[in-house]
Structure 1
């Protein structure tokens, strides 16, 4: 059986701007601007690891756990009022439903994963859900994709991963998967030279996958 592995934040749903808005709200109170290079580092990381990096790199006078708690509080509010699917997601899921087994592979927590899928009513498309709660090492390490393949009983030769960030794409590539990158406004400047295909959006990715033979 063939499988599709989809990242969530920035690939399925437009959450990257919500995360950045939440972080800007917190860091703005300390007159701290977060450099783009720092944002690139935290893409795909486990939530607590991303907060550790933010604390270390910016010097904000908060513990990583406190920063994560504050960010989660703001994000919970934004998810209920501002969450949107990325263009082409529903068409993508409908196209491959019943043809490919599909899994969500996200560096977000299980709580946020469940909340987002419920809000958008798309959980039924997927056979497996791997979040940061199930792994020890976040992206760009391959562990999360290895677990996803194991959960679907799919070999790397029969899997395709879709990612919007370099860290996520590298994680999938290290796991041996065919990787399609769909950069967004926040990740377009990252290095994707190692991926198998670059698509401008999910519409293009859908057409490309239809022509692939796995």
Structure 2
């Protein structure tokens, strides 16, 4: 059963929420900076997390005053990341069970991510998850990246719902800020470095996607 006052749709972030890609990004960032004699400090990690790739890499350049361009760092990221995806990409705990429950109760779901479309299709395709979502929004669909609310306002529009009827699952402070500013029901599911982020305004800070409080907030029984 579904509660009549429960969220009518659910939007998933991708990196660090559905997959362990934030962990892999930490490895990539640390390796790129190691090659330049720099350290990937926590302050920089937190600032970059949840932002579109170009904006995140520009932050890295500015923070360490690197001579590299965004295009050069982007190509280097792709090179390092390609091997990691094949060897170490994993779904986050509780993801499949949550998707199954949403399907059972007929609750529509989508993805709204700061990543680019080619990367998203590759990651989803590795586990054949794309057909399980009504639509996918990527950095190619928006002008302003998270923490700007544009991507979640667009998701609500696609669902033909007021943002307040939509649950957003996010792992980062920047992502949660975007959801909260959009007026959505923000649920933080932090992991690794994001466990220390400020999630003020979130309806819930969950332990993982398997946290039963997410199901309670959705108003579903399992």
Same fold (TM over 0.5): yes
Instruction: Report the counterpart of residue 110 of structure 2 in structure 1.
Output: 103
Higher relative contact order (CA 8 A, sep 6+): 2
TM-score (norm 2): 0.91
1:121 aligns with 2:109: no
What CA distance in whole angstroms lies between the structure 2 residues aligned with 1:153 and 1:37?
38
What CA distance in whole angstroms lies between the structure 2 residues aligned with 1:177 and 1:162?
10
Gaps of 5+ in 1: none
What CA distance in whole angstroms lies between the structure 1 residues aligned with 2:197 and 2:108?
29
Instruction: Report the counterpart of residue 163 of structure 1 in structure 2.
Output: 170
Distance apart, 1:209 and its partner CA: 3.0
1:133 aligns with 2:140: yes
What CA distance in whole angstroms lies between the structure 2 residues aligned with 1:16 and 1:186?
9
Within the candidate set 39, 58, 79, 1:73 is matched to 79
What CA distance in whole angstroms lies between the structure 2 residues aligned with 1:46 and 1:193?
22
Distance apart, 1:77 and its partner CA: 2.1
CA contact (8 A) 1:4 1:102 kept: yes
Instruction: Report the counterpart of residue 187 of structure 1 in structure 2.
Output: 194
Instruction: Report the counterpart of residue 151 of structure 2 in structure 1.
Output: 144
TM-score (norm 1): 0.94
Instruction: Report the counterpart of residue 95 of structure 2 in structure 1.
Output: 89
In the alignment of these two chains, the number of paired residues is 212
Distance apart, 1:55 and its partner CA: 0.2
Alignment of 1:12-91 (within 5 A): 12-91=18-97
